[in-house]
Structures are given as structure tokens and as C-alpha cells.
Chain A
């Protein structure tokens, strides 16, 4: 390995490590300076925009404007002519097993329910349980480790886990080794469309791999929220004679609810956007297709960006109920202020 590169690139290193924070700090300090020069009554009108400005600018340029292009493109054909809802019709043709319907079913029913449930449940359970043991840091780090792995590596790990050898041969995959230990035939976890072509098993296998990778994320955030609960509250509850489970139900869970909503919302959106695991492990075959993967294929394989846009908009529409729920939560919190 050649580390002399680091020395010759020292100027770049300085610019990056020092320059970036300085530019940002300069911006906000400079912005406040400008605000303070304004008359008193104008300050609260201008100030928020200084603070929120860079975020709005970046998000608009990188996400919002491309999203608008996508909406427009979903109503055009690939040459730019307006075609109304044709793309949507194409993608939604052949219910129930054609077009985008398999992906819709997988994302909106299987991924959304099971992925979100598994990750939230595990994340919460682990955060609460680990909080009570002295070696908390160690076990938390071990649960968190899968987050440090790239999606390609996660695919490799779980391919090893799901590896299939025919019955009678030595199993090389962990799960099939366990299964055959109990005298059951090995299972082709990713290819088996049990039950009867409904493909619940292999989708759950993929969700299992994805859950393993992301639970650390939920656990960390929920743990941070858990630690924000003042110890006095819990002590008081204990002194009043409440058992641990009651304390969890009546004190911990309600106080963590805002964070649970945030984590839950993020997970639901991740479930709808699931891509990496499907791409690396089954490539959407065996009825494991998902919307983001279908979109990727339409864009890069079929060179059909209009169709891809329609699928993306379907995905965005599926997110709307989640957004409405969140809006209600904000309003509730605001009202309580």
C-alpha cells in the first residue's frame, strides 16, 4: 500500500477537513450578522429563511426539481410527446400478475408490513433490553455491525447463509445446515415460491436479510430516545410499585412515541424503496420484484424512462398516507405546545 499519496495531497486534505466546516460556519454567522443589521420587526421574517435556505436550495436542486421532471415525464412518451395516462396504463396492465402488480404487492403488502414490523420490534426490544445490562456498549456494537457493511457485502454474506445444496449433499449454507440438522430437506430460500407460487418464503428471506442489515439503525435512534427519558420518572414509577412491563407500557413507550413515529415512517419509506437486497440477491426473479428495481430496469435495460417515471410516481403515491399520518402528528405536537 502506498501512503505517500497522503503527503502529496495534503493541500486537498486541508481544504476539505478545515475548509468545509469553515464555509458553513461563515455562512450562518454572516447570515445572522446581516439579520442583526435589519430593523427589529423584519428580523423574524428574514431569519428563518437564512437558516432554512441552504437546505431548501440543495433539496430543491438535487431532489425536488428532478422529481418534478419525473412527474412531467410520466405523462409523456420517450420522445417527449404528451400521452396522458398511457404509461400508467402500461405499468398497471394485466392485474394481478403482469406489469408492476407483483412489485406493488411485494412492496405494499409484504415489505411494508413485515420489514417495518420486524425492524421496529427488534430495534425497540434490543434498545430496551440492552439498556439494562452493564455490557451494553459491546452488544450494541455487535448488533450495529451489519450497518457497517455495504449492500454488496451483505448480499455475499446472506448468499452464504442461504446457500443450497441438493438433499444428500453436505450443506454449505448456514440456514440449510440447521434445517437438515432437524432432518428436513434443504430449502432453496431465495428461489422457492412457497406457498404455491405466492412467493411469500423467498420475499421473507430477502426481508430477513434486509432486517439484519438495518435493525442497528432503528436500535441506535430508539436507544438515543430511550436515554432521553429522565431517570427520575422511572424511579418514581418503581417506587410506586409498578412492574417493569407496566413501566414499559405506561412510561417508556408513550414517551418514545415521537421517535417511534420517525423511525417507523423512515422504515416504511425504506420498505417502499427497497432495492439493494433484491438487486444483489435475486435480481427480481421468482416473484421478488420490487418497484425500485422495476424502475431501474425500465430506465437502464428497456431504455424506457417514461415508464420508469410512472413507476416512481406510483411509489410516491404509496407514500402519501404516511405523510398524512406525519402531518397529523406535527399538528398534534404543535397544539400541545
Chain B
């Protein structure tokens, strides 16, 4: 039974009694707090969404809340300018081409490594793990020149990859994988480590090999953690601008959506009202990813797994 179900269990107190009233009051307070917090949280985003439907002259002179009372000055102009860009389709495609492998690679490799860190013994294991956590602190900017130099010297450039009919983003995938690995490994190792050791013992008794344990036991039980990781890594890569610019540059054939949208404002920063529409638009895919992975955040995955 879940915490939620446990919390929502019908009270055993007699209706109308003091205990029943205080439980009801507690429920009301809970709902008020939850809804209140959520509403306050949503206000900035709401401001963004409303602003994206207002012309620049309105944004500059009145707050977004003025939009919900007459005179209504709504316009689709910002969105029209957004969609008028001829490279939008390619940019969206490129964003997927960058984000999907940059998520799959680190999460998978981190899962392999986390399994080793959590359940295998090898020399210097704890120190290497500590190094992973420590490397979380490395600022990305310091890695750009050494890594890019390495790529250029070893021919991992867009020109060479395209000439070989390989996807031009390979360098970017590996870079994002490297950047995402410390956190992914850290999170998954902790999660795997928390799994009860009886699981592995029963599996060993049943004669299961390492691969079977990994694919049939650990991964299914870790779905919430894996789902979280996939969301975070995907989001971070989808919204990234600087790393993409450094490793694949800004030419339209390879540039992702973030580069495309950054181009809505000119070099003087004019046109920031277009960014409101762009921001709202580029939120759609990550939100869809989040919502579709929501169902993996369910309780009770561990329940009943060891018994019987």
C-alpha cells in the first residue's frame, strides 16, 4: 500500500467527532498549502506565456497581468516570427539528434559503471568513485579547449564525419556523455547500493549470470531512478547552447534548436519579446518527455520482489 493510499484511507473516527474534524481540517490545510504553493510557483511561467502573446509595445509598458483585463492586446506576432524561420524544422530535428544519444549513452554507461561500483569489488573502487563525484565540480569551460583540440587533431570534426557518412554530432555526444557521467553514476550507484542484498543472493541461488541480474533484476527495480536521470540529462542537453556551439558550431545543418532560437534576437539584444514565444515553444518537448516518464514514478516496485 502506498503512502498516498495510506494517507487517504478513510478515517476510522466517528463522523462529527473531534478527531474527524481535525482530520478533515488537516486535509483542507494540506490542499490549500499544496495549491497555494503551486500557484505561486507557476506565476513566473504564467507571466512568460501571457507575454508571449503580447506585442513588444505592450510588454514594455505594462505588466503581464494587464493582459487579462481589457483592452486586450493579444497578438500571434511573436509566434509568427518564430515559425517564419526557415530552419526551424531542421533545428528541431538536430535537437533530437543531439539530445537522444547524449542521454542514452551516459545513462547506459553510468548504469554499467554503477552496477560495478555498487556490487562488485575491485581495487581503488572507492577512490575512483570519489573521483567521479569530485569531477562534478569541474567547470565545463575549462574542458572546451583541450577536448576540442583533441577532436581536431584526431579528425573528429564535422567535415570529416560528414565525408565518412557518419552523423556529424559524434563529438558532441561524447562530450555530453562525459559531462553527464559523474552525476548519473553517482545517483545510480547510490540507488543500486540501496537495493537489498537478498535479491542478489536469491538470484545467485537460481543460477543467474551477471547480465541476467543486471537486465532482469536491477534495471526494472531502478526504473524511477533511471526515469529521473533520463529526464534530467535529456533536459540539460536539449536546453544547452554553449556546449553545442563549441563542438558543432552554429551552421544550420547541424545546429540544434537552442542556437536557432538564440538567433531571434539581434546582436544588440533587441527582440527579447520573441524569446518569450521561443521559450514557451521549446518547453513543449521536454514537458512531453517528463509527462510520458511520469508513470514510472510509481510506488511498490520493490514490494513482493524478494518474497516468493
**Complex-state Cα separation, A140 to B90, whole angstroms:** 32
Of B35, B65, B235, B300, chain A has the most CB atoms within 10 Å of the CB of: B235
Given the known interface contacts A132-B8, A227-B2, A258-B190, the answer about A66 and B142 at a Cβ–Cβ threshold of 8 Å is yes
Check: A58 CB closer than 8 A to any chain B CB. yes
Residue of B8, B51, B89, B134 near A323 (CB, 8 A) is B134
Residue of B258, B278, B287 near A145 (CB, 8 A) is B287
Chain B residues lying within 8 Å of A67, measured Cβ to Cβ, are: 135, 138, 142-143
Contact B42 A231 (CB under 8 A): no
Interface of B: prevailing SS: helix
Check: B53 CB closer than 8 A to any chain A CB. no
Contact B209 A312 (CB under 8 A): no
Contact B283 A148 (CB under 8 A): yes
**Complex-state Cα separation, A102 to B41, whole angstroms:** 31
Residue of B26, B120, B193 near A48 (CB, 8 A) is B120
Near A by CB (< 8 A), chain B positions 97-132 give 97, 100-101, 104-106, 108-110, 112-113, 115-117, 120-122, 125-126, 128-132
Chain A residues lying within 8 Å of B211, measured Cβ to Cβ, are: 28-29, 32
Could you say which interface size class chain A belongs to? 35 or more
Contact A152 B44 (CB under 8 A): no
CB-nearest residue of chain A relative to B296?
A: A224
Contact A55 B120 (CB under 8 A): no
Query: In the complex, how many angstroms separate the beta carbon of A163 from the nearest chain B beta carbon?
Result: 8
Near B by CB (< 8 A), chain A positions 130-156 give 130-134, 136-137, 139-153, 156
What's the count of A-B pairs with C-beta under 8 Å?
342
Check: B203 CB closer than 8 A to any chain A CB. no
Check: B245 CB closer than 8 A to any chain A CB. no
Contact B48 A156 (CB under 8 A): yes
Query: In the complex, how many angstroms separate the beta carbon of A314 from the nearest chain B beta carbon?
Result: 11
Chain B residues lying within 8 Å of A220, measured Cβ to Cβ, are: 228, 231-232, 297
Give per-residue flags for B138-149: 1 if the beta carbon is below 8 A from chain A beta carbons, else 0.
110111001100
**Complex-state Cα separation, A319 to B139, whole angstroms:** 12
Query: In the complex, how many angstroms separate the beta carbon of A245 from the nearest chain B beta carbon?
Result: 11
Near A by CB (< 8 A), chain B positions 204-261 give 209-211, 214, 224-225, 227-228, 231-232, 235, 239-241, 258
Query: In the complex, how many angstroms separate the beta carbon of B177 from the nearest chain A beta carbon?
Result: 6
**Complex-state Cα separation, A231 to B146, whole angstroms:** 50
Chain B residues lying within 8 Å of A232, measured Cβ to Cβ, are: 1, 303
Contact B138 A149 (CB under 8 A): no
Contact A2 B137 (CB under 8 A): no
Query: In the complex, how many angstroms separate the beta carbon of B81 from the nearest chain A beta carbon?
Result: 13
Chain A residues lying within 8 Å of B197, measured Cβ to Cβ, are: 337
Contact B89 A3 (CB under 8 A): yes
Can you offer 17 A-B residue contacts whose CB atoms are under 8 A?
Answer: A1-B88, A1-B89, A28-B211, A55-B112, A59-B131, A129-B30, A129-B37, A133-B4, A136-B4, A145-B287, A149-B279, A150-B279, A157-B48, A160-B64, A229-B3, A258-B194, A323-B134
